[in-house]
Amino acid sequence: MRATPLQGTAHAGTSKIRTGTRRWRAATCAMAILAAVAIPLAAQEEGVAAPPQNHWPAATEVGDGAGPVEQALLEAAPTRESWLHYGGNYASWRHSPITELTPESVSNLRLAWIAQTGVAGQLESSPVVYDGVLYLTSSMNRLLAYDAGDGSLLWRYDHENPSDLRICCGPVNRGVGISGDLVVMGTLDARLLAFNRKTGELAWDIEVIPYAKGFSITSAPLIAEGVVVIGIGGGEYGVRGFFDGYDLETGELLWRHHTVPDTGEAGVETWAGESYKTGGAATWATGSYDPATKTLFWTTGNPSPDWSGDTRAGDNLYSDSVLAVDIETGERKWYFQFTPHDVWDYDGNSEVWLVDVQVNEQTIPALVQANRNGYFYVLDRRDGSFLHASQYVHQLNWATLDENGRPVVNPAMKPTEEPTQRVCPGLAGGNNAAYAGAYSPETGLAYVPTIESCMMFRKGVVVFVEGIPFFGGEPIPTDTAEGKSYGHLSAIDVSTGETKWTYRDPVPMLAGVLSTAGGLVVTGNASGHLLGFDAETGEEVWRYQTGSGIRSHPIAYEYEGRTYLAVGSGGGGIVQTTVGTAPSLPEGSVLLVFELAQ
């Protein structure tokens, strides 16, 4: 695909340097600098300040001429040539059909191109690829469209976020959704924006909810049946959680599903007094979708305040749960609550895999999740009934589970004003959807990146002020302070919950995972290494130093007969600092795209 210059620039930047073009580029850069200086000076002469440029659409349509992304293509994803969903497919497997990426071939990967986002802050994004274009988001809502073959920048948008954002754990964005001829991004100031995928022109821009109340959006939208589904952050601000469905073409709100009940609604009795009004249960992770039943599966986070449950006695529905809802109406079909009355910040927002499992010699359509609370759950996704669960973290002492999957809490592990008990897992898990695992249908294994960093929890004063953090206490990262934290990638049989193999890393694992039909598993660590493993045995077969911690989600695609692996490098963030990280490693924000040598 030939790169198209961006509007308002002399040339779209590319990471490849070709002989004979340097003199031309130097002249072009000089003209661009002169133009950049002259425009503000002219504006100053007239007494008018020139507005900063934050949007560079393409001058002409980009891509290879493919048609719109229809529902049938979304259901067939991923293909060899495309990666259309945050989770790879509607079932969130993060599994590529590319067979050429194998434990034997991974050593033949060569760096093809890189893309600097130019934005400070951890890079957690999962790119989307379609029609020869790769779409990437960075922290602070920078959206970039690249030529998937050579990395030429095709168009760019920098969202103008306000200076007083209400965010919890870093200014991250995990990616876009794509459908029709639109790509859709949520923003830190709780807006939802749709762009023409071919030009980058803004199609619509709506406010989901006023951000100053404590809301934000960090997750990638899920788009199905012409409905854009997006969740919100804000559990640390005492918001009332919800997730929405919007019309893809117009941005019109179709439905809103609140995750904390209101007066007179089922479940409100699980909140003491009026504590439901500040109940939290944020929805900051991207869900999964079953096209056969038109059922959307969305997860919810902690009740508010985080570390004191004194004012909110009860189970606190529907926090720390998975909800099954109708994609067309937003009406709930069923729910399952993982951690009733959570006082440890065990968000239920880990990714959910839709798989078929074998139980008592029967094939059951299941929903599987490695929950932040340390348990690996298998549910019947038809009605939410509990099938079984197993411990997947190495250290777990806060509760056991009864025959229905309900926790039997150890009272000694609850937060106190003067804590002495080390609680496992810590507030970050385990696993959570900031770094999504993968599932391989070839092996029947889920590959789960995991943190082992136990903590103490101090209960504090509970005072709610709208738009101000509503913690009710604090974590004490004892393992981090004592150098005991570590991480692992574990391969777990989804039918039995048995761990088949484990790779242990010196620091907690906070990167997403990719599996391939060629039997390769790719992830990264906080020390900056990309890592490749044999999907069956767990043997490490590849290691590549990137210079900054890995927090992003690898993807694979094929373009013009060549196989590519794309993964972001850029560590940092409060969670990484709290649970333990590699010392002295610089932060960064760069996409590395590798090509498999032929």
CA distance 143 to 192: 13
Count of other CB atoms within 10 angstroms of residue 391: 14
DSSP 8-state symbol, 340: T
Whether 383 is catalytic is no
CA distance 517 to 566: 16
Count of other CB atoms within 10 angstroms of residue 392: 25
Q: In what order do the strands lie in the sheet with 562-569?
A: 109-116, 590-596, 562-569, 555-559
DSSP 481-533: HHT--EEEEEEEETTT--EEEEEEESS------EEETTSEEEEE-TTSEEEEE
Q: Which of 117, 118, 114 is nearest to 136 (CA)?
A: 117
Q: Which of 412, 429, 430 is nearest to 421 (CA)?
A: 412
Catalytic residue of the set 345, 347, 479, 505: 345
DSSP 8-state symbol, 354: E
Amino acid at 235: G
Amino acid at 250: T
CA distance 433 to 348: 9
Alpha-helical regions (H) of 419-472 = none
Q: Which of 179, 327, 333 is nearest to 254 (CA)?
A: 327
Q: What are phi and psi of 579, to 5 degrees?
A: -85, -15
Q: Which of 44, 41, 12, 45 is nearest to 29 (CA)?
A: 12
CA distance 14 to 226: 34
Q: Which of 35, 8, 285 is nearest to 168 (CA)?
A: 285
Contact 74, 179 (CB under 8 A): yes
Q: Which of 103, 112, 207, 71 is nearest to 443 (CA)?
A: 103
Residues labelled as active-site residues: 345
